[in-house]
Each structure stands twice: as structure tokens, then as C-alpha cells.
Copies of this chain bind each other. A is one copy, B any other.
């Protein structure tokens, strides 16, 4: 299993729900998300509480859509970017469901789906929920500067998505998880906190190469190879470097960080990022296109930058990881 794990008893994504903030609502996928808050506050008095509330709303929404209650779910898998993962810890405390916390930075959505799919596949769990979130305002003050400071952003910086996506894995639904690849941690020496795309691209390349070197499928078999979230910088590096190794994903590649904002109309520099980016794009857009038959086979690859501000102040570079999930409609 070191590379691809094939799921014989493949779980289906039975239900899913997306919750976003104002910038995401105003973006190209705006009307595809299930719920939004135009002041990004979700009626809470701190950005951290707003993020927790998004996760809670996403799980409530996914359960409701699937006509499920807490006791129908065997396990909650959750994670976010906040210190000690408090977005998830506080957002999910009211659910009467066993709780597993994950940390994979922006790869956490794919990580939760992959682990959840394995646990379903083994028969240990009949139904699980995987949920992740991020909030621009909470992330800015934690990772960079408080909003009030009005700091200039570099052209390579990505905009943390205010959003959350929840997925119920079970035996119903049109989309199944066929294969997974857990990523290895890769550090190529990038130490620019404002260029996460460059830091994450090598881990993504490693995972994609491990997949296609060992798979029965080729790039052409996939309607969409969706990374999340490399943005403009990382996506270009990914495509170019893979091409130089003979893997041409240019026709089918898109990145959740590029899909969620309009580059011309919205000033988001290198695109979106955050645990909520790939989660909300998958729940808001990709899942719906898979269910409609518009997409048949999708590789969904979550990419995460595994540093903290402190490790960069101490001169460290940025290790990254990329987990892969093969979805079929």
C-alpha cells in the first residue's frame, strides 16, 4: 500500500454541503455554494468563532441533506489551520459523534476523505463525516498581520478562503472514492511564507508521480485533475515540472485556488488557499459536476504547507504534503 490503495468496498459521498464568506460568494462559483455570510461573521463576535460556526453549519447542512442524525454517523474527521485546530474543536463539540482531529494544513480535506474512505472500506465505519474549514480574517492575524494593519500583499501570496465543506461517506450517492494515495512530506528549501504555491508544488509532483507510476490509469483517463491549493505560482510550477518528466496534465488540470476567485475582477493575487478552499470547491462545484455526469473521473489532490510562522522566523524552510483521492461519478 505504500503507493496506491485501491478500495474494493469503495465508499460513496452520500451527502455534502458548503458554507462560504463574502469574497467566495462574489466569485465565479458564488451561486453554487449552499450557504454564505456576507459579513463573514456568521453572527459570531470573533473570526475564530465564525470559523467554528462555518464548520458546524457545514456538518449540520450535510446531515440534513442526507436526512441523517448524529447517531447515524460513526466518526467525525476534521481539521483546520488555526493553532491547536480550534476551528474544528469548538465547531464540532456539540455533535454526539466520536471525533478525530487531523492536521494536514490545506491538504486536510483530501486527508480526511482518504482516511475516512479507508475506514469505510475496512467495514469499521458505516458512515463518516469529513469536514474542514479556513477563515481569511482568522488566518491573516495568525499567520501574517492583523487586518487593521493593512499590510501589502506580495503578488505570489494566496488569499485564505473563508469557507468550509463537509462530506458524508457511506453507501449511498453517485460519486465513489476508488483509490487513495497518502503523500510523503517533501521539503525543497522554499522559505517564503508569501509563496506557498512554490513550497507545495514539489509534494504534489511527488504524489502525482507515485500515482501514475503505479496506476492502471493514465492522465487522459481523468476529466479533471484538481489540485488544492497551489494557486497561480504553484500550478505553473506543477505543470511545467511534470511536463519535463513526461507527464502532461495541462489539458485536465485545474486548481481549487484558481477556480474560486475571478482573477481580473477580484484582487486575490496568486489565488485562494486554506483548508476551506478545496473543501468548498469540491462540495460546491466538483461534486455537482460529477453527479451531473459532466465529469466522470477526477483526481482530487489536497496540498498542504506544513510550517508555522515560528519555524520560518527560526530560519526553517517549508515542508509540504499532498494527499490524493480518485473520485468517480
Q: Which chain B residue has the least Cβ–Cβ distance from A45?
A: B314
Choose, from A21-29, A256-264, A283-291, A302-310, the stretch at the interface: A302-310
Partner of A98, one of B75, B121, B183: B183
Is A230 in the interface zone, CB < 8 Å from B? no
Is A97 in the interface zone, CB < 8 Å from B? yes
Given the interface pairs A123-B122, A308-B82, the reply to whether A96 lies near B1 with Cβ below 8 Å is: no
C-beta contact mask, A81-98 vs B, less than 8 Å → 1, else 0?
A: 111111001101101111
Contact A86 B308 (CB under 8 A): yes
A160 to chain B, nearest CB (A): 14
Q: Whole-angstrom distance between the alpha carbons of A93 and B188 in the complex?
A: 11
Is A118 in the interface zone, CB < 8 Å from B? yes
Q: Which chain B residue has the least Cβ–Cβ distance from A103?
A: B101
A4 to chain B, nearest CB (A): 11
Most buried by B among A83, A84, A124, A310: A84
Contact A85 B99 (CB under 8 A): no
- Copies of the chain in the assembly: 2
Contact A319 B71 (CB under 8 A): no
- Residues in B whose Cβ lies below 8 Å from that of A310: 48, 82-83, 86
- Residues in B whose Cβ lies below 8 Å from that of A319: 89-90, 93
Q: Which chain B residue has the least Cβ–Cβ distance from A84?
A: B308
Contact B118 A86 (CB under 8 A): no
- Residues in B whose Cβ lies below 8 Å from that of A183: 98-99
Most buried by B among A48, A185, A306: A185
Contact B314 A182 (CB under 8 A): no
A324 to chain B, nearest CB (A): 11
- Residues in B whose Cβ lies below 8 Å from that of A118: 119, 122, 124
Partner of A311, one of B75, B81, B86, B92: B86
A313 to chain B, nearest CB (A): 10
Contact B1 A126 (CB under 8 A): yes
- Residues in B whose Cβ lies below 8 Å from that of A46: 314
Is A49 in the interface zone, CB < 8 Å from B? yes
Contact B100 A111 (CB under 8 A): yes
Partner of A307, one of B89, B104, B126: B89
**CB<8 Å pairs between A and B, sample of 10:** A1-B124, A1-B125, A5-B124, A83-B84, A84-B307, A85-B103, A89-B306, A98-B183, A119-B119, A122-B124
Residues of A within 8 A of B (CB): 1-2, 5, 46, 48-49, 71, 74-75, 79, 81-86, 89-90, 92-93, 95-105, 111, 115, 118-119, 121-126, 181-187, 306-311, 314, 316, 319, 321
- The 6 A-B residue pairs whose C-beta atoms are closest, nearest first, are A122-B122, A98-B182, A89-B306, A101-B103, A84-B308, A83-B83
